[in-house]
Amino acid sequence: MKIKKVFLLLFWIILIIFFECVYRLTLFKNIIDSDFIQMLFFCIPISILLFIFSSLFTEKTNKKITLLTVIGLYVLFFAQMVYYQVYDGVFSVYALSNGGQVLQFWSTILSTILSNIYNYICLTVPVLLFLIFNKKIFDYNKLDSKLIILSCSSYLFFIGICFGFINMDKESIYSSYNLYFNTSAPVLSAKKFGLISTMNIDLNRVVFGMQEKKIEIIIDNDNKLENETKEYYNNLDIDFDSLIENEEDDIISMIHSYFKSLSGTKKNEYTGMFEGKNVILFLAESLDPIAIDKDLTPTLYKLANSGFNFTNYYAPKYPASTADGEFRTEWSLISSRGDTLTLYANRNVYSPYLFVNSFSNYDINIYHNYTGDFYKRNQYFKALGYDNFKSCYYGLNIQCGTLREGASDLEMVNASIDEYINSTDPFFAYYITVSGHLTYYKSSNKMVQKNWDMVEDLPYSDYVKGYLSANIELDKALESLITKLSDAGKLNDTVIIITPDHYPYGLSADQINEVSLENRDDPFELYKSDLIIWNSEMTDTITIDKVGSNPDVLPTMLNLFGIDYDSRMIMGQDLLSDSEGLVVLANRSWFTDTVRYNSVTDEIFSTDGSTVDSNYISKMNNLVDNQFKISNLILENNYYEKVFKQDEID
């Protein structure tokens, strides 16, 4: 083989390894760790394949192929680095078709690049060197048949080594074997195999189907409920034994067995506390404790510090941001699709616990002060049975603009409240807000401009002041809402619930720390948030210290409103029960009331400094893995319909 042809092969190997190393540095803040050697070996067959592909044709064609491939790989790694820093994920093949919605946040993308400019410069250097020197040092002539055979043999040899690594690591939940064949956890896969291999795994699963459903889910029989205590639990009388006996589908039977093994959560002194009362739920865009201030947002402050006070509530961001937050809040499942169609993809799936079904005797209205086309919400809600969804350009008569310009939560509340406040039935109003949406530049965001005079003199950076200013609009909406409810004599009979969709990822940890009383640099505390459940008749504040997040909102609501449900069959749990709290992050890290586990670094933290039993970590990792798998299987198989609507199916 000519020396210049060898240089071309070495170039591909060095380029792929270099790109992967910069990517690792961006995601994991280091390059060399326990998975580094394995990742290097996964780079080699990819490099050989690219070498073969760029040497099969004429010299002119091979030059073009090499140039386009180098640029394409550069763009791919560049985009994935930005995507992770904005959305904490690896964008999937699904997400490629929805890139337009991501690009609407171009200013956030630009600021992300500038804040990590050295990594992006490093990524660019080999491309520039290639453009300058490639014609001088590489041989683009077509490979002869012997060299093609040798190259293909080398490719197969290194593929064999890669599979050797996979088969040597089979034991843990997130072993190389499980991540490659059985479990969809892209961030962890990227750490072990590299980005290109991870995207190849994703592509194979899109084309040939995800095989996760064929994996036996380990059941912890220690949680099995004793018969004599059944009446004390928020469980339904479901004959799982009969369902299992009569089920021909192994997957459905496995899900039956899993739910049968769980104990569920107990009823408590708050069960039925708000039975029959009206509900007004806000999914508050990017709301954070730093926006809850006695002077700046007095209504939010009042609601957060009276009623139920959840001191350890978190709002983690999943890759589809608001779509994931919205999905996890209403469905109480773990979302892992990871793209903007998270909601729309499940429009034909039945759940008895969706608001439209669990509050079926209520007058339900949903409002959103942005276009109903975004995330295809107009089609999604209609398919699920919601008859009264209004948004910008779909029946909600308010001034609308782009997400960057913002839209008024106050205008949305004032334009909609008369549609339900005088209802003869209990009402359920669900507001999906926008005022707190990034970006927070005064020059472009109308909500920031509107309330700027209230934050102008605060001792924070202009961008942080912009965030606070935008959230004042939500506070004004709540103030107006409470006044109108009081005037109509409906305030005492109405429960106001507010949960963020996710933490304000438009702000950096340093910017959040400008205001926060707690240090938010920690990868767990970054997501610290607030859940508000308030009724004017609550005379005493009830403090709840259990950790929780969005999937826990639904079961907590169902318990408070005395609505029968089976707590075993959703992933969240009633935050007022005596069960251990659990928060699950998108990368499968998790934390309970006493322990924190970082799946990326495999680090374990105890809140009291005590030693944590390794069996407990294994048990919790298994539980988290089960929640991801079971959630997917429920959606893929329309499982709830088979259990709760069997008569209609038959």
In tens, the pLDDT along 14-39 reads 999 999 999 999 999 999 999 999 99
Structure tokens at 422: 């005088």
Q: What pLDDT, on the 0 to 100 scale, is given for residue 645?
A: 83
pLDDT above 70 coverage of the chain, percent: 92
The model's pLDDT over 344-365, given as tens digits with 9 standing for 90+, comes to 888 999 999 999 999 999 999 9
The model's pLDDT over 188-202, given as tens digits with 9 standing for 90+, comes to 999 999 999 999 998
Average pLDDT over residues 218-226: 56
The model's pLDDT over 548-596, given as tens digits with 9 standing for 90+, comes to 999 999 999 999 999 999 999 999 999 999 999 999 999 999 999 999 9
In a 3-state reduction of DSSP, which class is residue 445? coil
Q: How confident is the model at residue 280 (pLDDT cuts 50, 70, 90)?
A: very high
The model's pLDDT over 105-122, given as tens digits with 9 standing for 90+, comes to 666 778 888 888 999 999
Residue matched to tokens 């997040």: 549
Query: Any idea which of 176-180, 340-344, 423-427 has the lowest mean pLDDT?
Result: 340-344
Q: What is the rounded distance in angstroms from the CA atom of residue 224 to the CA atom of residue 618? A: 18
- Residue 221 pLDDT > 90: no
Q: What pLDDT, on the 0 to 100 scale, is given for residue 524?
A: 96
The model's pLDDT over 309-325, given as tens digits with 9 standing for 90+, comes to 999 999 999 988 899 99
**Mean pLDDT over the full length of the chain:** 92
Average pLDDT over residues 498-505: 97
- Residue 217 pLDDT > 70: no
Q: Which CATH architecture has domain 278-649?
A: 3-Layer(aba) Sandwich (3.40)
Q: What pLDDT, on the 0 to 100 scale, is given for residue 505?
A: 93
Average pLDDT over residues 259-265: 94
CB neighbours of residue 276 within 10 Å: 11
Q: Buried b / exposed e across 88-106, counting CB within 10 Å, b at 16+?
A: bbbbbebbeeeeebbeebe
The model's pLDDT over 437-479, given as tens digits with 9 standing for 90+, comes to 999 999 999 999 999 999 999 999 999 999 999 999 999 999 9
Quick check: 635 and 624 in contact, CB under 8 A?
Answer: no
Q: Buried b / exposed e across 156-177, counting CB within 10 Å, b at 16+?
A: eebbeebeebbeebeeebbbbb
- Residue 225 pLDDT > 70: no
- Residue 650 pLDDT > 90: no
Q: What pLDDT, on the 0 to 100 scale, is given for residue 649?
A: 54
Task: For the chain, give every domain's residue range.
Answer: 3-209, 278-649
Q: What pLDDT, on the 0 to 100 scale, is given for residue 287?
A: 98
- Residue 182 pLDDT > 90: no
Query: Any idea which of 78-82, 109-113, 169-173, 502-506 has the lowest mean pLDDT?
Result: 109-113
Cis, bond preceding 439 (omega within 30 deg of 0): yes
Q: What pLDDT, on the 0 to 100 scale, is given for residue 335?
A: 79
Sheet strands side by side (includes 590-592): 582-584, 590-592, 595-598, 603-606
Q: What pLDDT, on the 0 to 100 scale, is given for residue 222?
A: 58
Q: What pLDDT, on the 0 to 100 scale, is given for residue 213?
A: 46
- Residue 218 pLDDT > 90: no
Q: Which residue has the higher pLDDT, 265 or 107?
A: 265
Quick check: 572 and 595 in contact, CB under 8 A?
Answer: no
Average pLDDT over residues 148-175: 95
Q: Which residue has the higher pLDDT, 273 or 335?
A: 273
Q: What is the rounded distance in angstroms from the CA atom of residue 461 to the CA atom of residue 442? A: 12
In a 3-state reduction of DSSP, which class is residue 611? coil
Average pLDDT over residues 290-313: 97
Query: Any idea which of 91-100, 406-415, 619-628 has the lowest mean pLDDT?
Result: 91-100
Q: What pLDDT, on the 0 to 100 scale, is given for residue 220?
A: 60
